[in-house]
Amino acid sequence: MSNPEKSTAVANNELGRKLGLGAVIALGVGTTVGSGIFSSLSEVANAASSSLFLVLAFLIGGLLQVPANFCYAELASAFPEDGGQYVYFREAGSRPLAFLCGWVSFWATDPPSISIMALAIVNYLAYFLPMHGIVLKIVATVFVLIFMVVHLRSVEGGGKFQTIITALKILPFVLIIGVGLFFMDSSTLLSSTPLAGASATGITALLAGISATTWSFDGMGAACYMSGEIKEPEKNMPRGLILTALIVLALYVGLTFVASGLLTIDELAASDAPIALLASKIPVIGQGADVVVAIMAIIVVIGSLSSCIMFQPRIEYAMARDGLFFKQFGQVHPKYQTPAFSIVVQCMVAIVLIFASSLSDLLGYFTVIALLKNFLTFGTIFVLRRKAHYKPTYKMPGGYVMPVIAMAMTATLIYSTFIWSAIPSIIAAVVAVGTGLPAYYLMERQNKNSAK
């Protein structure tokens, strides 16, 4: 029996709704829980300066990130279509800002993130199969090509793979937390003894620790880019986004809780590989800690790479459908029913960047712009709620409290990042606006000419 919804999507050259609640959660958790947690634990330990504050920092930091997902849940229920932030800016009445959002994403943040994750997988894989130089880059390219094909050939297949790999990446963390609970020392956990040589203590240290956790929670709204492919989005998007926030919060707090009960704050702060050090303290895992953590890291980053290749190309697809990007990006593959051209081009750009140098520096140049996109996205709530066409099926609790908290947390990151990297941030802003606005007006002129 034919599927009427699928048949309509094919006829209209559109993407069909083929993904459920599990895919929403898998995209959010899969994107958020990445390689960052393997180093952020020590960074937050340094900032928080005590075991107790380390746990509180992740708890409070995670709770403060929940409002961001409340915002995304309301926006996604109002506009259940592909494109994420681009769509929200467009519907708020700013096509130029919507275009700049997608323009910066394509040229500056999305392909580099794919490149960096592919290289990270190979770096961890090199623990088992030593490789370097051109071989390392070639293997990284193979990983990109594999997941490009997975997500190009089938939305349902890609969604199922993403759900499986997300479950696999969570299981090792659950194992460490579950087993670690039996061996932890509560006196170490409750210790408020400050880190040796700490520059800040008390409430100042706690606030610093909370701020340091923010990047660990970034990416929970990834599914918003694929709202147009989610079944019953009015229900599944809000549920999935809120569950994503709670799952990530539970995972991170559980991990820091066990870490603080097995290691001193000085050990956590000084370690370059805190998760490996933590695993080495658990008798069941201890002797094979390095192997366990290397395998964990490979699975974790594979999940993030797969997620990004799956959802990121949807923004260019949505822009092209509106005439604000090259029209080929808006094409749907007649057989696979995916935005194949958009997926392939983004992966090809990522592969080119794999063979370039200083990818992390390149991404760092645009960090402030990426944060500004998030800040302004939460701000669209204030504009959209005054528009007649804004009719979300889910409305976040607390009125405007949630977007205010989300904007405040993002503003803190913008400030700290700008102070750390002021000149690159200014250069990136000038480049983004200097190239983006002329491109926007050129495309709008073409649209007008086509309409005549």
177-215: pLDDT as tens digits: 888 888 777 666 666 566 665 555 667 777 777 877 877
Structure tokens at 400: 């405007």
Q: Is the pLDDT of residue 345 over 60?
A: yes
* Gap between the Cα atoms of 232 and 118, Å rounded: 33
Instruction: Let me know: does 38 contact 275? Beta carbons within 8 Å.
Output: yes
Higher pLDDT, 61 or 427: 61
Q: What is the CA radius of gyration of the chain?
A: 22
* Listed range (150-154, 261-265, 312-316) with the worst mean pLDDT: 261-265
User: What's CA 382's distance to the chain center, in Å?
Assistant: 24
CA–CA separation, 432 and 103 (whole Å): 8
Whether the CB-CB separation of 433 and 274 falls below 8 Å is answered with: no
268 contact partners, CB below 8 Å, separation of at least 6: 41, 42, 45, 51, 54, 259, 260, 274, 277
Output 287 or 261, whichever has higher pLDDT: 261
State the Cα–Cα distance between residues 183 and 190, nearest whole angstrom.
15
Within 8 A by CB and 6+ apart from 102, the residues are 83, 86, 315, 316, 318, 319, 324, 325
Task: Reduce the DSSP state of residue 302 to 3 states and report it.
Answer: helix
In this predicted model, what pLDDT tens digit does every residue of 163-179 receive, in sequence order?
999 999 888 888 888 88
pLDDT given for residue 7 in this prediction: 46
What integer is the mean pLDDT of 411-417?
77
pLDDT at residue 321 in the model = 92
Compute the distance between CA of residue 85 and CA of residue 100 in angstroms, rounded to an integer. Answer: 11
Q: Measured between alpha carbons, how far is 416 from 19 in angstroms, rounded to an integer? A: 38
Q: Which amino acid is at 135?
A: V
Report the predicted TM-score, pTM, of the whole model to 2 decimal places: 0.86
pLDDT in tens, 364-413: 556 777 788 889 999 999 999 999 999 999 999 988 999 999 999 888 87
Q: What is the pLDDT of residue 187?
A: 67
Portion of the chain with pLDDT greater than 90, in percent: 41
List CB contacts of 213: < 8 A, sequence separation 6 or more.
40, 44, 57, 58, 61, 62, 252
For residues 11 and 1, which has the higher predicted lDDT (pLDDT)? Answer: 11
What is the C-alpha separation between 20 and 270, in angstroms, rounded? Answer: 43
User: Considering only CA atoms, which of 293, 265, 222, 283 is closest in space to residue 37?
Assistant: 293
